[in-house]
A and B are shown apart, each in its own frame.
Chain A
Amino acid sequence: MQGSENIVRKAVRKYGKGRENLLPILQMVRKEHNYLSEDQLREIATEMDLSSADVYGVATFYSFMDMQPKGKNIIRICKTITCFMKGKDSIVSALEDALGIKMGETTPDRKFSLLEANCIGWCHKGPAMLINDKVYTELTPEKAVQALDEYM
Chain B
Amino acid sequence: MVMTREEKLARINAHQERVNLIFEKIDSLGLLGKVMKLENSKILEYIKESGLKGRGGAGFPTYLKWKLAADQKSDMKYVICNADEGEPGTFKDRKILEEQADKVFAGMAICAKVIGAPEGYVYLRGEYNYLVPLLTTKMNAFNDEMNKLGLNFTLKLRSGSGAYICGEETALIESMEGYRGEARNKPPYPVEKGYLGKPTVINNVETLVYCTMIVLNEGGKFKTFGTEISAGSKVFSVSGDADVEGIYELELGMTIQEFVDLFGDGDTKAVQVGGASGFCVPRKKFKETIIGFEGVPTGGSMMLFNSTRSMYHILMNYMEFMQEESCGQCTPCRVGCQQLVKGIQAIKHKKRPATYLDDLVKLAKSMRVASKCGLGQSVANPFISIVENFREEIIY
Contacts and interface: CB of A to CB of B under 8 A. Distances in A.
A21 B176 CA distance: 8
B128 A121 contact: yes
Q: Please indicate which of the listed interface residues B91, B160, B246 has the most CB atoms of chain A within 10 Å of its own CB.
A: B91
Task: Say which size band chain B's interface belongs to.
Answer: 35 or more
B325 A82 contact: no
7 A-B pairs closest in CB distance = A22-B178, A62-B161, A63-B162, A124-B245, A123-B239, A64-B162, A61-B180
Contact of A123 (B88, B321, B325): B88
Interface stretch (B6-14, B217-225, B312-320): B312-320
A49 B145 CA distance: 38
A27 interface: yes
B205 interface: no
A123 B89 contact: yes
Contact of A61 (B177, B181, B303, B313): B181
Contact of A27 (B90, B159, B317): B159
Contacts of B242: 124
B163 interface: yes
A58 B180 contact: yes
Interface string A5-29: 0000000000000111111101100
Contacts of B42: none
Contacts of B159: 23-24, 27
Contact of B162 (A20, A62, A85): A62
A84 B87 contact: no
Contacts of A130: 127
B70 interface: no
B91 A123 contact: yes
Interface residues of A, number: 37
A19 B177 CA distance: 6
A81 interface: yes
A103 interface: no
Nearest to B163: A62
A120 B127 CA distance: 6
B130 interface: yes
A27 B160 CA distance: 9
Given A23-B175, A23-B176, A135 B130 contact: yes
B163 A61 contact: yes
A148 interface: no
A122 to B, nearest CB: 6
A130 B128 CA distance: 10
A130 B162 CA distance: 13
Given A23-B178, A81-B314, A82-B303, A121 B129 contact: no
Nearest to A116: B324
A85 B240 contact: yes
A100 B313 CA distance: 28
Contact of B127 (A57, A62, A117, A126): A117
Interface string A109-125: 00000000111111111
Contacts of A22: 178-179
A81 B312 CA distance: 12
A84 to B, nearest CB: 6
Contacts of B240: 81-82, 85, 123
B79 to A, nearest CB: 16
